[in-house]
């Protein structure tokens, strides 16, 4: 192993651990919800609430990369941070209106075909989620500056500490017999606020906003040109699961006992997604590596990305094929009966996710380094177009179920990866030809 590869590993493994810690919190939430009476219903409604919320919080998922690429000193720090706060407030307003005004009672039934009681439960979750767009934006931004300073160990430690806070609140909530929505909602909110405060403290303590390089007072339109295509990308990311779940709820909107029960399907697919994200999310951290190192060593970074992707793909196959996945879902998640069976079946389909995500993230990284993020937005549009085109046909044929939902997700990722690959390669070839001329 050459010194460069060792440097990449030292940089990458804390980020990978951070991703596992982050999604472990979601797994623990699943476990807690399934411990309650009517746990399958509770988990299904939590999944629907999260699916609705993610398009808004997802607008800021690329804030770490924005900070890493754009911030070079106090001037660019202030300009990009003020832009981030403005975006956070903007995308908080829709959640505020839906969760806290009568508008939510009108809009939500148009999205999900579930009962009025379930709509009320979804809206209760959204009330706890309302501050999380702004709080999460601050967390992401600070993490990006810490990554820029190559202090990825601190980023990982912050995520693990946040996970500890989330678990502690959930345990307290269960002990005090709080309602499921209260226990889960407060755990998410308090862990996020604590994370933002501590991350901000570390960022200021290490003065990572003074990173060297040429600093300038970036204009808001310059930041927007770089960041808004990534906002479109993340919104499209987050819309994929609401669309998939919406087609599932359409199979039996009134809870007719003569039709398929959709709540076990939603719960099963949600469990499978949460489990697969333990692998998927580690590959998403490769974007940080690309943004930080690819300018100096494209070939070395590409080799590293390929090795990590292959390793994660093989590991996921081993875990899913072995009894480990079933034991995990049954004993650590509390899944049983049809929910357990459906989660296992959906997981087999999701074995295709790691190689697709690894390819996509490599070209995402190139697009961000080139500050040509339009290809990312186009790829995310293709992702949801694939679902919108294919899912209605499966519903009409009577073939849409939990397995089809997983297939839709994999197909959507493949459409996205292919689009980003083709557009990024075409743009780079065009740039190379212009340089030659």
pLDDT tens, position by position, 304-323: 999 999 999 999 999 999 98
Mean of the pLDDT values across residues 266-275? 86
Mean of the pLDDT values across residues 149-169? 86
Higher pLDDT, 437 or 373: 373
Whole-angstrom CA distances from 139 to 50, 75, 174, 384 are 19, 20, 27, 27
Q: Range with the lowest mean pLDDT among 100-104, 146-150, 189-193, 331-335?
A: 331-335
For all residues of the chain together, what is the average pLDDT? 85
pLDDT tens, position by position, 209-241: 444 456 667 788 888 888 888 788 877 877 888
Q: What is the pLDDT of residue 214?
A: 62
Ramachandran bin of 196, using left for φ above 0, alpha for ψ from -120 to 50, beta for the remaining angles:
alpha
pLDDT tens, position by position, 396-419: 888 888 899 999 999 999 999 999
> Is a pLDDT exceeding 80 seen at residue 179?
yes
Q: What is the pLDDT of residue 194?
A: 92
Rounded distance between C-alpha atoms, residue 186 and residue 189, angstroms: 5
pTM for this prediction: 0.71
Burial per residue of 171-183, b for 16 or more beta-carbon CB atoms within 10 angstroms, e otherwise: eebeeeebebbeb
Q: Range with the lowest mean pLDDT among 224-233, 282-291, 386-395?
A: 224-233
Rounded distance between C-alpha atoms, residue 146 and residue 159, angstroms: 13
Rounded distance between C-alpha atoms, residue 399 and residue 329, angstroms: 25
> Is a pLDDT exceeding 50 seen at residue 302?
yes
- Which range marks the domain in which residue 425 is found? 3-436
Could you count the other beta carbons within 10 Å of the beta carbon of residue 71?
26
Q: What is the pLDDT of residue 309?
A: 95
Mean of the pLDDT values across residues 253-268? 79
| End-to-end C-alpha distance for the chain, whole angstroms | 39
- As to burial, measured by CB atoms within 10 angstroms (0-12 exposed, 13-18 middle, 19+ buried), residue 303 is middle
Phi (first) and psi of residue 278, to 5 degrees: -60, -30
Rounded distance between C-alpha atoms, residue 154 and residue 8, angstroms: 16
Q: Are 384 and 243 in contact (CB under 8 A)?
A: yes
With a pLDDT cut of 70, the percent of the chain lying above it is: 94
3-state secondary structure the chain: CCHHHHHHHHHHHHHHHHHHHHHHHHHHHHHHHHHCCCHHHHHHHHHHHHHHHHHHHHHHCCHHHHHHHHCCCHHHHHHHHHHHHHHHHHHHHHHHHHHHCCHHHHHHHHHCCCCHHHHHHHHHHHHHHCCHHHHHHHHHHHHHHHHHCCCHHHHHHHHHHHHHHHHHHHHHHHHCCCCHHHHHHHHHHHHHHHHHHHHHHHHHHCCCCCCCCCCCCCCHHHHHHHHHHHHHHHHHHHHHHHHHHHHHHCCCCCCCCCCCCHHHHHHHHHHHHHHHHHHHHHHHCHHHHHHHHCCCCHHHHHHHHHHHHHHHHHHHHHHHHCCHHHHHHHHHCCCCHHHHHHHHHHHHHHHHHHHHHHHHHHHHHHHHHCCCCHHHHHHHHHHHHHHHHHHHHHHHHCCCCHHHHHHHHHHHHHHHHHHHHHHHHHHHHHHHHHHHC
Q: What is the pLDDT of residue 131?
A: 93
Mean of the pLDDT values across residues 268-292? 86
The sign of the dihedral angle between the CA atoms of 327, 331, 333, 334 is positive
> Is a pLDDT exceeding 90 seen at residue 395?
no
Q: What is the pLDDT of residue 348?
A: 94
Categorize the per-residue pLDDT at 60 as very low, low, confident or very high, splitting at 50, 70 and 90. Answer: confident
Mean of the pLDDT values across residues 78-106? 91
Strongest mean pLDDT among 106-110, 334-338, 351-355, 380-384: 351-355
Q: What is the pLDDT of residue 211?
A: 47
The structure tokens listed for 368 are: 């961000």
> Is a pLDDT exceeding 50 seen at residue 159?
yes
- CA-nearest of 232, 182, 298 to 55 is 232
Rounded distance between C-alpha atoms, residue 436 and residue 422, angstroms: 21
Considering only the C-alpha atoms of the chain, give the largest distance between any 2 of them, rounded to a whole number of Å: 72
Domains held by the chain: number: 1
With a pLDDT cut of 90, the percent of the chain lying above it is: 28
Mean of the pLDDT values across residues 169-197? 90
> Is a pLDDT exceeding 70 seen at residue 434?
no
Rounded distance between C-alpha atoms, residue 67 and residue 11, angstroms: 17
> Is a pLDDT exceeding 50 seen at residue 1?
no
Q: What is the pLDDT of residue 432?
A: 61
Categorize the per-residue pLDDT at 433 as very low, low, confident or very high, splitting at 50, 70 and 90. Answer: low
């Amino acid at each position: 192993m050459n010194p460069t590869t060792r440097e990449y590993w030292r940089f990458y493994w804390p980020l990978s651990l951070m991703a596992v810690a982050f999604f472990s919190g979601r797994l623990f939430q699943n476990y807690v919800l399934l411990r309650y009476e009517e746990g399958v219903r509770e988990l299904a409604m939590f999944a629907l609430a999260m699916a609705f919320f993610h398009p808004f919080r997802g607008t800021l998922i690329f804030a770490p990369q924005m900070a890493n690429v754009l911030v070079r000193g106090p001037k660019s720090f202030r300009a990009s941070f003020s832009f981030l706060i403005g975006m956070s407030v903007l995308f908080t307003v829709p959640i505020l209106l839906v969760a806290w005004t009568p508008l939510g009672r009108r809009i939500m039934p148009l999205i999900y075909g579930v009962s009025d009681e379930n709509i009320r439960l979804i809206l209760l979750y959204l009330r706890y989620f309302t501050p999380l767009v702004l709080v999460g934006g601050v967390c992401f931004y600070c993490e990006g500056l810490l990554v820029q300073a190559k202090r990825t160990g601190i980023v990982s430690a912050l995520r693990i500490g946040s996970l500890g806070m989330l678990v502690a609140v959930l345990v307290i909530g269960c002990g005090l017999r709080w309602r499921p929505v209260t226990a889960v909602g407060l755990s998410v909110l308090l862990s996020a606020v604590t994370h933002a405060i501590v991350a901000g403290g570390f960022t200021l303590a290490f003065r990572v906003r003074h990173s060297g390089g040429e600093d300038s007072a970036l204009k808001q339109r310059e930041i927007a040109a770089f960041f808004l295509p990534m906002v479109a990308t993340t919104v499209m990311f987050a819309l994929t699961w609401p669309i998939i779940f919406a087609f599932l709820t359409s199979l039996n909107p009134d809870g007719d006992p003569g039709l398929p029960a959709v709540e076990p399907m939603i719960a099963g697919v949600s469990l499978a997604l949460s489990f697969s994200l333990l692998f998927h999310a580690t590959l998403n951290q490769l974007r940080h590596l690309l943004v930080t190192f690819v300018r100096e060593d494209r070939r070395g970074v590409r080799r590293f990305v390929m090795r990590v992707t292959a390793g994660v793909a093989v590991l996921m196959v081993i875990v899913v094929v072995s009894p480990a996945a079933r034991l995990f879902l049954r004993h650590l998640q509390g899944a049983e009966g049809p929910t357990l069976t459906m989660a296992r079946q959906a997981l087999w389909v999701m074995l295709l996710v790691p190689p697709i995500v690894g390819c996509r993230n490599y070209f995402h990284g190139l697009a961000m380094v080139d500050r040509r993020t339009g290809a990312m937005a186009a790829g995310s549009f293709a992702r949801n177009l694939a679902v919108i085109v294919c899912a209605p046909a499966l519903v009409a044929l009577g073939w849409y179920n939990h397995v089809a939902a997983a297939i839709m997700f994999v197909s959507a990722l493949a459409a996205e990866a292919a689009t980003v690959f083709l557009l990024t390669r075409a743009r780079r070839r065009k740039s190379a030809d212009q340089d030659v001329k």
